[in-house]
Amino acid sequence: MSDKILPAVGYLKIPDDGDPYLEGYKCDNCGAVFLGERSVCSKCFTRDKMSTIKLKETGVLHSFSVVYRSFPGIDVPYVSAIVDMDGGGTVKGNLINIEPDPEKIDFGMKVKLTYQDALGRKDKEGNSYLSYFFEPA
């Protein structure tokens, strides 16, 4: 078992000294931003021109759904959100600290990232995980 908290996904980075952040891969040719490591741009096909960037902490809600039925053991309702990050990249995540009521959620609302324990979920070895969430900015 690790003595450190682990990232829930590979593109969530937890530096030894500093705050967690989401990592994007940006094409230096066309500017497309991807989550997860890659060497070829699927937008402009340029090879080996990818740079890692820190995604911005803020963004705009593009679309969402309120999920009332999920798999057994998963707490509902919750808001599944698609967020266009300021400065590039689109990220999907839970939108928290807001009433999960479609009438009370506005397209285009400003949101920001927050980093918290992954809802208490642990892996088989008992490791704890850090995840990211969105909340109203």
Partner 1 sequence: MSEDVYVLGVDMIKFGRFPDRTVPNIGAEAALLALDDAGLTIKDMQAMYCGNLGQANAMVGQRILQEIGQTGIPVVNCANACATGATAFREAWMSIKAGIYDVVLAVGVEQMGKGLLGGAGGGDGIPKEGLLGSGTMPCVFAEAGMEHSKDHGTTFEQFAKISVKNHHHSTLNPKAMYQIETPLDVVMNAEMISYPNTKLMCSVNVDGSAAAVLVSEKKAKELGMARAVKVRASALASDPYTDRDLVMPDVNACTRIAAQQAYEMAGVGPEDVNLVELHDCFATAEMLHYENLGLCKDGDAGKMIDEGHVELGGKVPVNVSGGLLSKGHPLGATGIANIYEVCTHLRGEAGARQVEGAKMGMTHVIGLGTACGIHILEKV
- Note the residues at the interface with partner 1 (CB under 8 A): 6, 8-9, 32, 34-35, 42-43, 62-71, 74-76, 78, 80-82, 84, 90-94, 102, 107-108, 118-119, 121-123, 127, 129, 131-132
**Which residues lie closer than 8 Å to 101 by C-beta, 6 or more apart?**
66
Q: In whole angstroms, what is the distance from residue 83 CA to residue 109 CA? A: 10
Measured from the CB of residue 52, what is the shortest distance to partner 1 in angstroms? Answer: 16
Smallest separation, CB 29 to partner 1 (Å): 13
Least distance between partner 1 and beta carbon 33 (Å): 9
Q: What's the CA gap between 134 and 112, in Å, rounded?
A: 5
Place of tokens 């803020």: 58
- Closest CB to partner 1 among 17 and 107? 107
Q: Is 127 helix (H, G, I), strand (E, B) or coil?
A: coil
Residue 15: phi and psi, rounded to 5, are: -65, 150
Distance of closest approach, residue 81 Cβ to partner 1, in angstroms: 6
Q: Following CA atoms 37, 116, 118, 84 in sequence, which dihedral angle do they give, to the nearest 10 degrees? A: -50
Which residues are 116's β-sheet partners?
131
Closer CB to partner 1, 19 or 45, in the complex? 45
Q: Which is nearer to partner 1, 14 or 32 (CB)?
A: 32
Residue placing its CB nearer to partner 1 in the complex, 17 or 51: 51
